[in-house]
Chain A
Amino acid sequence: MDKIYTICPYCGCGCGLYLHTTGNRVTGVSPSRSHPVNRGTLCVKGWNSHEFINHPDRIAWPVRKTDRGLVRTSWEDALDITASKLSSIAGEYGPDSIGVLSSAKCSNEENYLMMKFARAVIGTNNVDHCARLCHSSTVGGLSGAFGSGAMTNSITEIDEARTLFVIGSNTTEQHPMIGMHMLKAVDRGATLIVADPRRTQIAEFAQIHLRHRSGTDVALLNSIMNVIILEGLVDIDFVKRRTENFGGLMNVVNYYTPPVGARITGVPAEAIKKAARIFATQQRSMLFYSMGITQHITGVDNVRSCANLIMLTGHIGQPYSGLNPLRGQNNVQGACDMGALPEFYSGYQKVSDPASRRKFRRAWGTKVPDKPGMALTDMIDAIGKGRIRALYIMGENPLMSDPDLTQVREAFRSLDFLVVQDIFISDTAGMADIVLPAASFAEKDGTYTNTERRVQKADRALRPYGEALPDWQIICRLANRMGYPMSYNGTYEIMEEIALLTPSYGGILHHRLDENSGLQWPCPDMNHTGTPYLHRKKFARGLGDFIPVEFLPPAEQVDDDYPMLLTTGRMYFHYHTGTMCRRTSTLEREEPECFVEINPSDGKRLCIRSGQPVNITSRRGGLEVKAMITEKTPEGTVFVPFHFREAAANILTNPACDPEVRIPEFKVCAVKVEPVAGKKTTRKPEEVDISKFWIERE
C-alpha cells in the first residue's frame, strides 16, 4: 500500500490528505496531521473522496456525438474534429464567437493553459469559469476597495481571534475545517456573531444570531456602521492614515439608523447595536462571508459594505483580523489567480492595460486580443443571440449550475459546436459534440490554491483511467493541432512560466511546495516565504477606498402569485452539481433525495407535512420535491439545495445579474409552494443511466 499526498478535491479549505493506493486503485484516504488547515481531521466528503475515482461511470475514451448517440472514437479523431471545428468557426465568425470555460476543479497549471489557449490560440478573451457564479463579486468589490480580492488572513489565525463575524456563510457545513477553527476560537472565549436568515449549525454556537431577511445585507451592514459612527467607535487613526472617502461613507450611512435597519432587515435594533459594539471594540475581529453575500444582484455592493465595515474599525492589515471571503471550490482562488477571467490575465493583470498585453504578447509570441471578453452569464445570453457559436468547456457543468436552466438548455441546443472535457458524462457533456476524457485529481500532479491563498502541490497517485489524459495535456495537444505549438515536459514547466509572468506567484515553483504545506501568495521571489496576511502597512491599491452603497431590494420581490422567497445552496453531504459526491455510496446514501426546507408555521398554513411531496414553482419553471419542515428556515422563506439533477433547483432561480460583475441572484427569487394533491410520498428517481449514452461499447 502506498500513500500519496494530495489536496482534497472538494472545497476551498484545501485540506491535505493521503490517498492509499494498491495497484492502480485507490483504497482509502487519511488526513494529514501536519497540514495547517485540517490538522489530522477531514470532513465527510474528504474522507470519502476516493470512491468516485474508480467509478465505472468514468469516461474511459473520447466520444463523439452521432445520430445514434455518443460513440467511442480515437484521440486523433476527437482532437482533429475539435481543432478543425474551432478553427473554422473562428475563421468564419471571428474568434469572439468562441467561448472557453475553464474549471475551478482543475489545477493552476491547467487554468493558466486554458486561458492561454483562449487568448493565444483562439484569440479571444471570452474565458471564464464558475467563480462568476460564486465570488466574482468579491473580485470586483475588493479590487475596488483594497486592490486585491482574496482572503486577507490565514485559516490558522482564526484560533486566536477574539470576535468572529460570519455573514452569509454556513461555515461548519460548507467549509467544515474552517468551521473547526471557529469552534476552537469560541471554545477559547471568542465572541461569535452570525448573520444568516437560516438557523445554520454555526449559528447554534453564536452569541448573537442576526436573522435578517434574505437580500438585505447592505442595510444590515450600513446600520451596523451607523451605530459605530454615531457611538464614536470608529478607528480614527486608521481611517485617517490608510483610507480615503470617509465623508462619502458618512453621508450614505447616516440614513441607516438602527430603527431603519430593523425595519428593512427584520433584525431588532438592539441586536444590531450590540453586534456593532462588540465587533468595533474588540481587537482581533475577523469578518467572514461567503455565497450569502455574493450571490445577489447587489453582490458587489454587499462585498463593498463588508470592506467598509472592516476599514471603519481598522480590523485589517494585522494578524488575526481582516476580511475573509471563503472561496467555494478547491481551486477557485487559483483559477481566478491564473486569469481564467475575461478581464484579467494571471495575477489580475488587466487585459485592458497595454503594458500587460505587451508582456503576454512577447512571452507567448503571438498577438493577444485587447477587448475584455464576455462573462459566463453573458456568454450564455450570447449563445441565444447567435454571437457565441462554439463552447469549449473544461470540467464544468453549466447545465446544472447556471440559473434558469430551461433557458440555458435551450441556448445550448443552438450551439454549432460544443466540446466538453470531463471525468463523467455530466448533463453538459451529455449534450456535447465531442467529449474528451480527463484524468481525475488523483491521476495527475499540479498545484491548487486554497481560500487562504495557499498554493499547494498535489502528487499523482494513479495512472489515468482508461485512455483519459490530464487536462493540461489535452489542451497542449489541441493547441498543437490548431497551429500553436505548446509543449511542456511536465506541470512544473508550466509553473515556471506562471512564475515568470505573474508577480504574485513569482517565487512559487514546484520544488518549493513540498515542505510546509505550500506557500501563500503574494510570494514575489525565490527568497520570499509567502504572506500569511494581506494589506500590511498599505493596501494593495495604496489607500483603502470607502465606496458607500445604498440598499437595493432583490430583483424579484414576493407578490400574491409567488408569495415565498426561495434561497438555494449546498448541503454538507453533497457538493455542487453532484457529479462526484453522488457517485460516492456513503454520501449518496445520506441524502439520496432533493428536499425543500419549510418553516413549521408556513407548513401549517399551507397544510404541508414533513416528507410530503410539494410543487415549487417560479416564473421560470417548477419542480417536485419532498418537504422538510424545520426551524432552520425562517417564515416566508424556503430553501432548496441545488445538487440534484432530477430536481434541479436552478430551474427556478432568477438569471438577473449584478450589473458590474454579472453574478446571478441565486440567493433570492419568488416562488410558490403547494402540496402535490393525492400523493403521499416521493419515490427516489431512477438511477442516472449512463449506459444509454454508450451505443458502441467495445
Chain B
Amino acid sequence: MSDTFILDRNHLPYWLRQLRKERKLIGPMRKKSGDIVYEEVSNIHEIELNCPAILPPVKEFFFPATEAMLRFKKGNVNDNIMGTPAVIFGLRSCDVSALNLVDRFFGGDIKDRYYTKKRENTLLVSVGCNMPDPTCFCMSMGTGPFLHKGYDIQLTDLGDRYFVEARSGRAKNIMNKFRHLFGKPSKADYEDQYEAVHLSQTYFEKRINLEGARNAIVSGAVHDDFWRSVTARCFECGGCVYECPLCTCFNVIDRKYDGTVERARVWDTCMFKGFTRMTGGVLPNRDRIRRTKRWYYHKIVYGPEQIGTFGCVGCGRCTITCPGVIDMATVGMKLSKGVDNS
C-alpha cells in the first residue's frame, strides 16, 4: 500500500529544493525556443508541469544515446559505471511504467550495471495526467494516466494542492524526512483525487486496441501487402526507436584517442539494414518490410508471449516523431480495425 499525503502547492518548491540538496534534480524545463525538455533544474520556479509529451523520454538519463562503457589504457581496463544520485520530477505515468519494464530487461539475472546503477540511485516523482495529450493512449495500455502500483512517488494536481502517494520503500523513507511539509489527506482530498483520475479518462482522443491488432496478426489476417504499404512511408530515420521509452537496442563502437581506447555504446535501431548485416555482406533483414514487421511483431506479438505485456506504453512519442505517420497508434488502429489486404 502507499502512504498518502497532501502538499500545499506553495510548498512544492521548498520540497524540491530540499530534495536537490542531496541529489541532482531533473525536471521539465522550457527552452528559449519554446520547447520543453528534461534537464537539470536550475530555477525551480521555471519547472513546466503543463507540457505536452517531452522528447526524448527519460530513458536517456539511465541509458544515454552515447555512453562510454570501458576505457582501455596500457593493458588496463576501467569500467565507467556511474550513478550520481538524482531525482526526476514531473515525469508521467507512462514513463514510469516504461522504466519498470526496462528495469526487468536490464536487470534480471544478467545485470547491465550501467543501467541499474543509475536507476538504483534515482528517485522518480511522477505527476498523473489530468489532461492527456491528443497523442496519448496509455489508458488503452493500462499504463496511465494514473498509476496504482510500480511508482516511487506520484502526485495528483488538485489545483491549490497536490495529493501525494509514496509507494516504494525508498520513497517512504524519503517522505519520512519531510513529514513537516505534508498534511494528512482529508476525505474531500480523496474525493477530489478520485475525480481527477476519473475525469482524465474522458479526455483521451485515442483508444488503441493492441490486443485486437495482435489477434489480427496472429490469426494470419494481415498480409505482407499491408506491411508493404506501411513500409513505403518509412523514412528510415530510426526516430520511432530512438524515442520509444521501451526500445533499448544499442551498438558498440571502439574509438582510439591518443593511447586510450574507448568502447562506447550508442543507441541503435532495427530499422536499419546494417543492424543485422553480417560479414560478407549478408543482410538477414535487407528488405525494409522485414524491419518494419520486426519492430511491430516484437512489440505487439512477441512482447505478450515473452514478458506478458505489450512492448508499448502508449506514450505517443512515435506518433510525434514519425515523419511517415506510421507510428504505433496509426498502425495499431488500422490493424485492429481489420486490414484491407487488397
Contact = CB atoms under 8 A, between A and B. Distances in A.
Instruction: State if A and B touch, Cβ cutoff 8 Å.
Output: yes
Interface of A: 1-3, 5, 16, 18, 20, 22, 25-35, 40-44, 46-47, 50-51, 55-56, 172, 176-177, 179-180, 183-184, 187, 201, 204-205, 514-517, 572-573, 585-586, 589-590, 592, 611, 681, 697-698
Nearest to B65: A28
Contacts, number: 135
Interface stretch (B145-153, B266-274, B300-308): B266-274
Contacts of A515: 32-34
B37 interface: yes
Closest 8 CB pairs of A and B: A28-B65, A589-B274, A180-B323, A34-B34, A41-B323, A40-B320, A514-B32, A590-B274
B60 interface: yes
Interface in B251-273: 251, 253, 255-258, 266-268, 272-273
A514 B30 CA distance: 13
B239 A32 contact: no
B37 A47 contact: no
A1 to B, nearest CB: 7
A179 B234 CA distance: 11
Nearest to B57: A30
Contact of B33 (A56, A184, A517): A517
A50 B55 contact: no
B235 A43 contact: yes
B268 to A, nearest CB: 7
A180 B322 CA distance: 9
B325 interface: yes
Contacts of B256: 56
A33 B242 contact: no
A47 B64 contact: no
A618 to B, nearest CB: 27
Given A41-B239, A44-B238, A56-B255, A20 B232 contact: no
A611 B281 contact: yes
B320 A585 contact: no
B34 to A, nearest CB: 4
A697 B233 contact: no
Contact of A28 (B34, B64, B239): B64
B235 A29 contact: no
B65 to A, nearest CB: 3
A29 B277 CA distance: 25
Question: Chain B interface: which size bin?
Answer: 35 or more
B90 to A, nearest CB: 15
A424 B19 CA distance: 45
Given A27-B64, A41-B237, A42-B321, 4 more contacts: A1-B64, A16-B33, A44-B238, A592-B274
Interface in B35-80: 35, 37, 39-40, 52, 55-56, 60-61, 64-67
B65 A183 contact: no
Contacts of A31: 55, 239, 321
Contact of A18 (B34, B37, B67, B274): B37
Contacts of B322: 41
Nearest to A204: B232
Contacts of B258: 697-698
Nearest to B236: A44
B31 interface: yes
Contacts of A51: 66, 266
Contacts of B321: 31, 40-42
Given A41-B323, A56-B257, A30 B55 contact: yes
A47 B237 contact: yes
A176 B266 contact: no
A1 B267 CA distance: 17
A218 to B, nearest CB: 32
A364 B10 CA distance: 57
Contacts of A35: 33
B272 A586 contact: yes
B266 A5 contact: no
Interface in B89-134: none
Contacts of B233: 183
B37 A586 contact: no
A527 to B, nearest CB: 21
Q: Most chain-B CB neighbours within 10 Å: which of A2, A40, A187, A589?
A: A40
Interface string B218-251: 0000000000000011011111001000000001
B39 A3 contact: yes
Q: Which of A2, A33, A51 lies at the interface centre, i.e. has the most chain B CB atoms within 10 A of its CB?
A: A33
A585 B269 CA distance: 12
B33 A586 contact: no
A27 B65 contact: yes
